[in-house]
């Protein structure tokens, strides 16, 4: 094993409980485990959380089937698109579907088994969704098939991660509430409503209706730096604990003389006698090429800089300042070692992206382990 991911169960549970205290007992929680549980490992994460949440949210049919095959019995909502030819398999495995296309409704109408759907309302994010003015006609189509049950209504906020004026979020929420009221009249019952994400739970409590879709915050990561700063100001007792640590081992050690080029293109040239460590990890594994010559890793509790370009399967670091380094010593790429920590936010800043991408792009083939 040359690289692996460790997930701290207690951190996942602690973060979940922090949100539960924040939102109260009335609101159900959906653990969003799409994208391999944001890189944390779909099956392992779901098993840790199954008896602590009401729902699971996945992106596609394959993820939903993986949960069912792992023995997960809780309701599972597919948040993304399911091809028409795969609808029968989704229904047969008791997976709820997010629906916004008439073609999907017509295809479900031809399946004799009951299907459960959540209609996605387009309130202003410009992605999936039914325009509110088209909802009545859409519901008429749904009601023609008695085996289709409208289980819920959903929508998604466009800009809550950017703290500031909440007028657009309020506009989106108002559109959703109007659509929900109209749908309840049309259906003759109030469907399950959910729009809130981690940022909404932290900063926009009016959006907490029947369920919170808890994603990034559950993993101990902040939706954005501005959200973290604002929460620290208004609710300093609220804390999150990152659950993921990504590790590798030193695959080679050698001394390089002054003036020796390192890596493709020779973008780094040694200016001193340099103790070089080669790590068997690269951009194939999810360690981004953008960390070339600017990233850092932890070796024996000390920071060691990445030198040269990150390769497909190898990364080089300077361990000259780290004493007593040996072959196969453990290296932390992301997470804590001793008193030092490499955070997803730090890596994201250097890569020019967001923490969501840092963790979700860790290669799903790398082994995941849970620990207490």
What is the per-residue pLDDT across 115-171, written as a single tens digit (0 to 9) for each?
999 999 999 999 999 999 999 999 999 999 999 999 999 999 999 888 777 899 999
Question: What pLDDT was estimated at residue 166?
Answer: 86
pLDDT in tens, 324-357: 999 999 999 999 999 999 999 999 999 999 999 9
Residue 1, pLDDT above cutoff 90: no
Return d(Cα 47, Cα 55) in angstroms, integer. Answer: 12
Q: Which of 110, 239, 264, 284 is catalytic?
A: 264
Residue 277 near residue 317, CB atoms below 8 Å: yes
DSSP 8-state assignment for residue 306: B
By DSSP bridging, strand 330-337 and strand 296-299 are antiparallel
Q: Is 34 a catalytic residue?
A: yes
- For residues 46-60, give the mean pLDDT: 98
User: How would you label 248-262 residue by residue, b for 16+ Cβ within 10 Å and e otherwise?
Assistant: bbbbeeeebeeeeeb
Phi-psi region of 39 (alpha: psi -120 to 50; beta: other; left: phi over 0): left
Q: Is 283 a catalytic residue?
A: no
For residue 349, what are the CA distances in angstroms to 69, 153, 228, 357?
Answer: 37, 35, 15, 11
Return d(Cα 177, Cα 181) in angstroms, integer. Answer: 6
- For residues 304-329, give the mean pLDDT: 97
Q: How confident is the model at residue 257 (pLDDT cuts 50, 70, 90)?
A: very high
Q: How confident is the model at residue 199 (pLDDT cuts 50, 70, 90)?
A: very high
- For residues 354-366, give the mean pLDDT: 98
Residue 179, pLDDT above cutoff 80: yes
Which domains are present in the chain?
9-234 (3.20.20.10), 244-371 (2.40.37.10)
Question: What pLDDT was estimated at residue 187?
Answer: 96
What is the DSSP track for 78-136?
E-S---GGGHHHHHHTT-EEEE--HHHHHHHHT-SS-EEEEEEB-SSSSSS-B-GGGHH
Question: What pLDDT was estimated at residue 53?
Answer: 98
Question: What pLDDT was estimated at residue 133?
Answer: 96
Kindly state the tokens that stand for 135: 């909802």
Q: How confident is the model at residue 289 (pLDDT cuts 50, 70, 90)?
A: very high
Return d(Cα 325, Cα 150) in angstroms, integer. Answer: 60
Kindly state the tokens that stand for 123: 């309130």
Residue 193 near residue 153, CB atoms below 8 Å: yes
> What backbone phi and psi angles, to 5 degrees, belong to 199?
-65, -40
DSSP 8-state assignment for residue 281: -
Question: What pLDDT was estimated at residue 165?
Answer: 73
pTM of the predicted protein model: 0.96
- For residues 354-371, give the mean pLDDT: 97
Residue 366, pLDDT above cutoff 80: yes
Question: What pLDDT was estimated at residue 163?
Answer: 78
Question: What pLDDT was estimated at residue 162?
Answer: 82
Q: Which of 34, 116, 247, 350 is catalytic?
A: 34
């Amino acid at each position: 094993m040359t690289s692996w991911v460790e997930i701290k169960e207690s951190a996942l549970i602690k973060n979940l409980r922090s949100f539960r205290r924040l939102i109260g007992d009335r609101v159900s929680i959906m653990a969003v485990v799409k994208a391999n549980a944001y890189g944390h490992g779909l099956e392992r994460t779901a098993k840790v959380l199954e008896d602590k949440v009401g729902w699971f949210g996945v992106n596609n049919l394959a993820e939903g089937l993986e949960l069912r095959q792992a023995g997960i019995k809780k309701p599972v909502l597919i948040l993304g698109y399911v091809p028409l030819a795969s609808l029968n398999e989704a229904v047969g495995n008791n997976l709820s579907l997010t629906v916004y296309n008439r073609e999907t409704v017509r295809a479900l109408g031809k399946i004799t088994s009951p299907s459960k759907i959540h209609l996605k309302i387009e309130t202003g994010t410009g992605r999936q969704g039914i325009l509110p003015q088209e909802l009545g006609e859409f519901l008429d189509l749904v009601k023609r098939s008695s085996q289709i049950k409208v289980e819920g209504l959903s929508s998604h906020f466009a800009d809550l991660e950017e703290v500031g004026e909440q007028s657009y979020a309020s506009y989106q929420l108002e559109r959703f509430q109007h659509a929900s009221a109209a749908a309840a009249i049309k259906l003759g019952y109030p469907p399950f409503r959910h729009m809130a994400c981690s940022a909404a739970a932290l900063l926009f409590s009016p959006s907490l209706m029947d369920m919170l879709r808890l994603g990034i915050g559950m993993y101990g990561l902040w939706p954005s730096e501005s959200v973290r700063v604002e929460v620290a100001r208004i609710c300093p007792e609220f804390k999150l604990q990152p659950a993921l640590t990504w590790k590798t081992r030193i695959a080679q050690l050698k001394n390089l003389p002054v003036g020796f080029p390192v890596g493709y293109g020779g973008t780094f040239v040694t200016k001193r006698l340099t103790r070089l460590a080669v790590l068997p990890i690269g951009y194939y594994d999810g360690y981004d090429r953008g960390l070339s010559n600017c990233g850092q890793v932890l070796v024996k509790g000390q920071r060691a800089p990445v030198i040269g370009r990150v390769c497909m399967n190898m990364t080089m670091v300077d361990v000259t300042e780290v004493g007593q380094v040996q072959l196969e010593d453990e290296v932390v790429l992301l997470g804590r070692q001793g008193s030092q920590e490499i955070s997803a936010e730090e890596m994201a800043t250097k890569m020019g992206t967001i923490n969501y991408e840092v963790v979700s792009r860790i290669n799903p083939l790398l082994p995941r382990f849970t620990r207490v």
